[in-house]
Structure 1
Amino acid sequence: MTSTSAALAALSGLGFGLALIVAIGAQNAFVLRQGLRRQHVLAVVAVCTVSDAVLIAAGIGGAGVLMTSAPLAMTVVRYAGAAFLLGYAVFAARRAFSSSTLIAESNGKTVALGATVLTCLALTWLNPHAYLDTVVLLGSFANTYAGADRWFLGAGAMVGSALWFVALGFGARLLGPFFARPVAWRILDSVIALVMLCLAAGLVLTA
């Protein structure tokens, strides 16, 4: 291993990690929403970043092979994740069509830190896509690198994950003027409900 190969591996991990993470999904939608509300943003970003780092390390360490050899466990996680996403879609839809909720959003009603963290953990760890992306796909990609270069690739992916969640969570406030209007929250929650519903359906249909 040379410093050049290590740097190239890290850059590859950064690019590959961002390609997997930067997409409309349950986790990103939640981080965006918390960033817009400016509530518990640091905690949410930290949970997502640490969770991704653990999953990436597991993938680099070869956990992807174990996951693919245990289809029953993946099936259980798939259906549990689908049920949770469906429930979250229902709550998002209720928020979108409830005038009282829209007023609360505009006034910045705070949700407890514990509830926020638990929701974030569930959206991360009950989502099979998180395992497929970080553990299986990234792990498989890392296996094309030899020796310690695999871990430099993993480190690059972790940095990419951290940069993305920080940018998404803390950068969302730039959209604050637009979301000062209740109708903007109605649109956002409608989109989130649709995304969650599609993700839930996708998990069941591909089982």
Structure 2
Amino acid sequence: MLHVVINAFLLALGLILPLGAQNVFVFNQGALQPRYVRALPITITASVCDTLLISLAVFGVSAIALGIAWIKISLISVGVLFLLYMGRVIWRSKPAAANGGQAEGLGARRQIALTASLSLLNPHAIMDAVGVIGTSALRYDGWDKLAFALTSIAVSWLWFHGLALAGRIAGKADPSGRFLVALNKSSALLMWGTAIYLALSLFE
């Protein structure tokens, strides 16, 4: 079973490491919140959403859904619209130092809603979960499959909580707020670029 755990750990880490809309949002809000505990609604929501996606991928339910063309097209279309909206939110958000000492971190309810939407309406996250984690899990049965799923889920939880903490540290180390302002602008451009890429994929 050890080789199953190692395989799941490396696979999940490889998928979650690249800079994407979900990671950017978690990091930014970790930096913008006045205290790390205020970012917990984001990290917990992102982790729970990933737990759901991984569970569905491992046990094959989402693979069936993505095999239906209109569901895939609808998912990508909604994802494009949401990424455009999230890009606007991130572009306009400001760190405390650039906003008269008042951080523009989101409230708990909005944190949860936006994080859940960004996680569950993210076509890349869903397709990675189904195409990579779900496919890799097909080689395992019984307890090995369960160990594979639990390891992948654990990586997700540790990653998001660590990412928000890294954002908080970066926020405290940047009293001028210039780095975070630049990061917000870059993050927004990344989200808009992803939205354009996904929109173009609909015409392939």
Same fold? TM cut 0.5: yes
Structure 2 residue aligned with 1:63: 61
1:60: Cα distance to partner?
0.8
Q: C-alpha offsets along residues 83-119 of structure 1, whole Å, 9 cap, x if unaligned?
A: 11012223333447xx999315x42244321111111
Distance (whole Å) between structure 1 residues aligned to residue 181 and residue 96 of structure 2: 12
Aligned to 1:107, what secondary structure does the other structure show? coil
1:43: Cα distance to partner?
1.1
Distance (whole Å) between structure 2 residues aligned to residue 112 and residue 181 of structure 1: 23
Q: C-alpha offsets along residues 57-82 of structure 1, whole Å, 9 cap, x if unaligned?
A: 11111124303321211110101110
Letter in 1 for 2:53: L
Equivalent pair of 2:75/2:121 in contact (CA under 8 Å): yes
Structure 2 residue aligned with 1:3: none
Identity %: 25
Q: Are positions 1:139 and 2:99 aligned together?
A: no
**Structure 1 segments of 4 or more deviating over 6 A?**
none
Counterpart among 35, 51, 54 of residue 53 in structure 1? 51
Structure 1 residue aligned with 2:182: 187
Distance (whole Å) between structure 2 residues aligned to residue 89 and residue 110 of structure 1: 15
Unaligned runs of 5+ in 2: none
Q: C-alpha offsets along residues 164-199 of structure 1, whole Å, 9 cap, x if unaligned?
A: 111101232221344321322320111111110111
Letter in 2 for 1:34: Q
Moved more, 59-68 or 188-197: 59-68
Matches within 5 A, 1:107-118: 107-118=102-113
Q: TM-score, normalised by structure 2?
A: 0.88
Unaligned runs of 5+ in 1: 1-5
Distance (whole Å) between structure 1 residues aligned to residue 60 and residue 105 of structure 2: 40
Distance (whole Å) between structure 2 residues aligned to residue 77 and residue 200 of structure 1: 12
